[in-house]
Amino acid sequence: MIILSNVHKTFPTGTQGLTDISLAIDKGEFVFLIGGSGSGKTTLLRLLTREMTPTSGEIRVADVPVHAISESKVHTLRKQIGVVFQDLKLLMDRTILENVLLPLEVAGVSINQAKARAEELLEKVGIQHHKDKFPIQLSGGELQRAAIARALTLSPIILLADEPTGNLDDATAESILSLLQAIHEEGTTVIMATHNMNALKKYPHHRVITLEKGTLAKDTKKKDAKGDTHGSA
Amino acid sequence: MAAHRKTMWFHLRRSPYQACAAILMMSITFLMMTAFSYLLVGSHVLLQYFESRPQVNIFFTNETSQSTIDALGEDLRANSVVSSVTFVSKEQALAIYREQNKDDPLLLELVTEDILPASLEVTTYEAADLRPIADALAGNPAIQQVVFQRDIVERLAFWLSALRQVGIAIIVLLAIESLLVITIIIGIKIAQRRNEIELMQLIGATKGYIAAPFVYEGILYGMVGAVVGWSIASGFLYYYAYLIEQSGFFAGIPVLPVPWELYAIVFGAMAAVGIIFGYAASMIAVRRYFRS
């Protein structure tokens, strides 16, 4: 599903973002991506959506050579990947429903179908009753749910969540985790960058990839580019 | 398409003053463009009219006898390039003058029969034949002045050319200013919606999809500006053309009434230019954003 081979990322300032990252993630896996600030978690997620390109190495997502595709093909790739951004990126001058509708509008789904799908997802994440409110009227947990609903609108094969429990209290964080777990159980590959150690304790069977200063420090289920399991690092 | 229109209206509602400024600027540009279009077409018709009626006016001194005038008239009629020769006596000249100035008693009081000379109106088949006739008559002691329409046409052509150049210069300046205003306003709107655009890109929107509402907005500014500018200029022309026609100022000259086809053609041209302007300006703004 996702294969990274010897991926390096050096920023224009000369800072080393990632160094020689190689890993493979299977379809339907739930992966925790952990590491301190500046360890490269967000950089790794941004490479997967082609928000940035690797300095060297190869990245494949669902057999698409992300490192090599032209700019004109990037939008097709992004429609297959749902992203819950660290800063959520909800549009403050649009209602929750309008925010969730956005990816469907971009995909050219008819307005009636789009509304039905958006309302279904808002129901799923538990904020259907807030659909006509603006983001400023919702709590942090509710905003996270709205961002998750938006990420799921196009039924992505992969869901990337960057610190989705970052600023939430324990109870709210747990409810968000449960929601992501439910999405995973429906067959979606979930990659969640987090600092939340409680999440790892709650789901100990999920794979954990640890990054340190841009290098792959630990992988609880390491696979090479051919997909062969090598056990814990 | 519907999504782009919805987004465009959303943008317009969020910043109505910017939209008004853009439309106002475009309206002024198209008002000037429409007005100069009518002026150029009208002046072209006027020029063609004069060019198609080649004529020399020979004004005689008061001392010139009628027999001398008649002899000269006969000589001219014998010339193969001359199509007609008409004598206008001092009395007829005064009558014409009185008719033209019947509403101004002061001008009528100042002029007597002695001031206005008798004249011959000589018409040729070709405008090019006017100057040889005028040159041949120059130096004749019986003649006070020779005025031929080539002078009038040339002067008219000169002033119309100057007017055209000034008009084109003003229109070009206004067009550049309008393009810049729309580019800046669309640019401001893009900057205001940077977060939205960034999100759209991240959720898989193409550049074309992102650009479309801004391009539609630019085209809307151009089209509304063209319609407003054309409506004002055409309204003025329609109203004043009627008044001028009633006054008889252009009597005999086929400038008025303005044909409706001209209104329609100018409207079509202005609408097309409006669309092109709006499209070009918004594309410049959008491309600048994507390049940055």
User: B226, B210, B209: which is closest to B278 by C-alpha?
Assistant: B226
How far off is chain B from A133, nearest CA to CA, in Å?
A: 17
- DSSP string for B92-146: HHHHHHHHHTTT-HHHHHH--TTTSPPEEEEEESSGGGHHHHHHHHTT-TTEEEE
pLDDT of amino acid B254: 64
Q: At what angle do helices B149-192 and B207-247 cross, to 10 degrees?
A: 150
A-B CB pairs within 8 A amount to: 42
Q: How far apart are CA A76 and CA A83, in angstroms?
A: 14
State mean pLDDT over B104-131: 78
Among the partner residues A93, A103, A111, nearest to B203 by beta-carbon distance: A103
Residues constituting chain B = 292
pLDDT category at A89 given cuts 50, 70, 90 is very high
Mean pLDDT taken over chain A? 88
More confidently predicted of B259 and B229: B229
Residue ranges of B 77-116 with Cβ closer than 8 A to chain A: none
pLDDT category at B102 given cuts 50, 70, 90 is confident
> What share of chain A in percent tops pLDDT 70?
95
Which value does ipTM take for this structure?
Answer: 0.84
Q: Which of A47, A72, A75 to mutate to test the interface with B (most CBs of B within 10 A)?
A: A75
Q: Which of A106, A112, A153 to mutate to test the interface with B (most CBs of B within 10 A)?
A: A106
User: Does the reported pTM lie above 0.95?
Assistant: no
CB contact under 8 A, A89 and B209: no
- DSSP string for A46-104: HHHTTSS--SEEEEEETTEETTT--HHHHHHHHHTEEEE-TT----TTS-HHHHHHHHH
> Please, are residues A58 and A7 in contact by the beta-carbon 8 Å criterion?
yes
State mean pLDDT over B177-190: 89
Query: A46 contacts in B (CB within 8 Å)?
Result: none
- DSSP string for B18-52: HHHHHHHHHHHHHHHHHHHHHHHHHHHHHHHHHHT
pLDDT category at A230 given cuts 50, 70, 90 is very low
Alpha helices in B193-206 (DSSP H): 194-202
> What share of chain B in percent tops pLDDT 90?
24
Among the partner residues B14, B196, B206, nearest to A75 by beta-carbon distance: B206
Residue of A nearest to B202 (CA): A78
CB contact under 8 A, A106 and B204: yes
CB contact under 8 A, A106 and B203: yes
How far off is chain A from B185, nearest CA to CA, in Å?
A: 20
Q: Does B202 reach chain A within 8 Å, measured CB to CB?
A: yes
Q: What is the pLDDT of residues A5-25, one digit of tens each?
A: 999 999 999 888 999 999 999
Query: B209 contacts in A (CB within 8 Å)?
Result: 106
pLDDT category at A232 given cuts 50, 70, 90 is very low
